[in-house]
Structure 1
Amino acid sequence: MTSSLPILVPRLIGGLETNVKGNIHFLSDDEVVYPVGSVVAIHNYHEKKQKFIKLSEKGKNLTHVAVSPDKKLIAVVETTDKYPIVTLWCSETYKKKRTLTLPTDKDIIANRYVAVDFTYNSKNIIVVTGEPDWSLYCFKCDKGRLESFARANNSNNTGTVSQLACNPNDANQLAVIGETVLRCLGCTDYTWRQFGYNKFDPVTYTSCCWLSQDRLMVGSSKGKILILEVGEVRAIFHAMDLPIINMKLKEE
């Protein structure tokens, strides 16, 4: 007479992958999403329960996790030997909805995404490829269709990109920053064009955040904080000198 061994099922997994961008998000007031080990965990910290999204290759190719503003989609971004992929998962059923891949008819060399963000209305997801392409691609979430694309770094193909930020009120506007890169882009008729600030500065921009539809805050590695309105620089602050930033801006 033989007895079957009990099957061990994970209940709670702790830890955090610090090398993954966007490594923790609120999914609701009670749930957070974060990558750990070979899964993305959806943790309800009130009920002390977890659900899991299993990753390919035991999670070793995971680079980003993003959650749509309406909290209905979880984007899992991974690299492969040939090209990067984005997998969209339903946050309610934890089932895969679709996989977004780069078009095969374009001369794409990059094998990773360096930045990813959803538009404010959760209808599109925008990604930026790394070296040597530095290109921006906008996909339709519900169809998985490529809507538009553009150069992400400077128009002369200089600079690198580290972050992408979609406008909080306009799905056709975004900002990209990085080493010598600070660009505000707008899309009309599926074509992205730069507007506002258009100078080359030997500055590494490290972070950016939209404060409103027209106002963008950008930080640099030298501790400078730039405030842009409608794409134009309105004020520059030095982070180490000011405990409070007065947002009643004056023209430079």
Structure 2
Amino acid sequence: MLFGINPLIKGNVHFIKEDLIIYPAGQTFTVNDLTKKTQTHIAIPWSKKTINLIVMSPNRKYLAVAESGDRPTISIFDLRDRTRIKYLGNPVAGSKAKRFASIAFTFDNKYMVAITGEPDWLLLWYNWERARVETTAKMFDPGDKIGPIFQVSTHPDDHTVIVVVGDCFFKMYSLFGTEFQQYGFERAERVPLTCVTWIAPDKALAGTKDGRFLLIDFGELVGIYRVYDVDEIVIIPRRQAAEEVHLPAVDNLTPSQQAEDEVRI
């Protein structure tokens, strides 16, 4: 049981190690050692803002804490010496966003991508060690009948590739120089997407509010499945998959698509 944890914070529990968990409680981060049955605390600098989002770096050495307010911020904590080492803001002039909708470290822990909330929906690409935004991109215009955005996910091998999902929104981007360029599948106007993850360097799964997931392979949509119909996902080499596996054709994104009991990719 975790006492004092705030269920309204996205990403409110993380494993630092197999037997070491961290979560926010009041104005501190509580660190529980599950083996030694001990508890320590990391002080959170006082702020009028409200923590709304927490993510951990892939190497489990850094914790990014997003706070909402008139000027939303991201604090980076070093979990080795348990101190805040960076304080990031939104430098875009005229931005009216009061929160970060999603943030993620790149696989090499060197960069961070953040997406602001309404009404701006801006993508900010941070070199967080230098506390600098290196490029920005607008996800969509306020008049577009899409959004909100729920998640950005960074590629497991390439820090220049990301995927972003939201309600009626799916886009994959690759960073060329200082500009993000969209590629691959993006036909999601009627799809209530809520989450996405990479399951291999060339494959991503995106989940929907109505219990489906979309399989994206090399940037292209190759299958739509009902979650309750799928027991197992087995990843096999792409060449072997082309020879041995047939995925059902996708003509549209209606919820009527059925799936096999086992999906082999």
Q: TM-score range by the shorter chain?
A: 0.7 to 0.9
Provide the identity percentage.
24
SS where residue 27 of structure 1 aligns? Answer: strand
How many residues matched? 239
The match for 1:62 is 51
Q: Distance in 2 between matches of 1:163 and 1:249?
A: 30
Q: CA deviation at 1:14?
A: 2.5
* Deviation per residue, 1:7-53 (Å, 9 max, x gap): xxxxxx72421111111111112311111222221222222233323
Q: 1:146 to 1:58 in 2, by over 3 A?
A: closer
> Does structure 1 conserve the Cα–Cα contact (< 8 Å) formed by 2:119 and 2:142?
no
The match for 1:113 is 100
> Does structure 2 conserve the Cα–Cα contact (< 8 Å) formed by 1:37 and 1:58?
no
Q: Distance in 2 between matches of 1:58 and 1:137?
A: 23
How do 1:95-106 and structure 2 match up within 5 A?
Answer: 95-103=83-91, 106=93
Q: CA deviation at 1:151?
A: 1.8
Alignment pair present for 1:225 and 2:213: yes
Alignment pair present for 1:14 and 2:11: no
Q: CA RMSD in A?
A: 2.3
Q: 1:85 to 1:108 in 2, by over 3 A?
A: same
> Does structure 2 conserve the Cα–Cα contact (< 8 Å) formed by 1:154 and 1:181?
no
Q: Distance in 2 between matches of 1:154 and 1:185?
A: 17
Alignment pair present for 1:52 and 2:49: no
Q: Distance in 2 between matches of 1:62 and 1:48?
A: 27
> Does structure 2 conserve the Cα–Cα contact (< 8 Å) formed by 1:136 and 1:152?
yes
Q: 1:45 to 1:67 in 2, by over 3 A?
A: same
**2:149 equivalent among 145, 157, 161:** 161
Q: Distance in 1 between matches of 2:165 and 2:219?
A: 13
SS where residue 240 of structure 1 aligns? Answer: helix
Q: Distance in 1 between matches of 2:96 and 2:49?
A: 21
Q: 1:96 to 1:246 in 2, by over 3 A?
A: closer
The match for 1:4 is none
Structure 1 residue runs without a partner (length 5+): 1-12
* Deviation per residue, 1:58-91 (Å, 9 max, x gap): 78701111111111211111112x2110011110
Q: 1:171 to 1:156 in 2, by over 3 A?
A: farther
The residue type paired with residue 157 of structure 2 is N
The match for 1:234 is 222
Q: 1:36 to 1:194 in 2, by over 3 A?
A: same
The match for 1:42 is 31
Q: CA deviation at 1:103?
A: 0.8
The match for 1:207 is 195
SS where residue 128 of structure 1 aligns? Answer: strand
> Does structure 1 conserve the Cα–Cα contact (< 8 Å) formed by 2:49 and 2:68?
no
**1:250 equivalent among 247, 250, 259:** 247
Task: Give the TM-score, by structure 2 length.
Answer: 0.83
Q: Distance in 1 between matches of 2:40 and 2:152?
A: 29
Q: CA deviation at 1:97?
A: 0.5
Q: Distance in 2 between matches of 1:27 and 1:56?
A: 21
SS where residue 42 of structure 2 aligns? Answer: strand
The match for 2:124 is 137
The match for 2:77 is 89
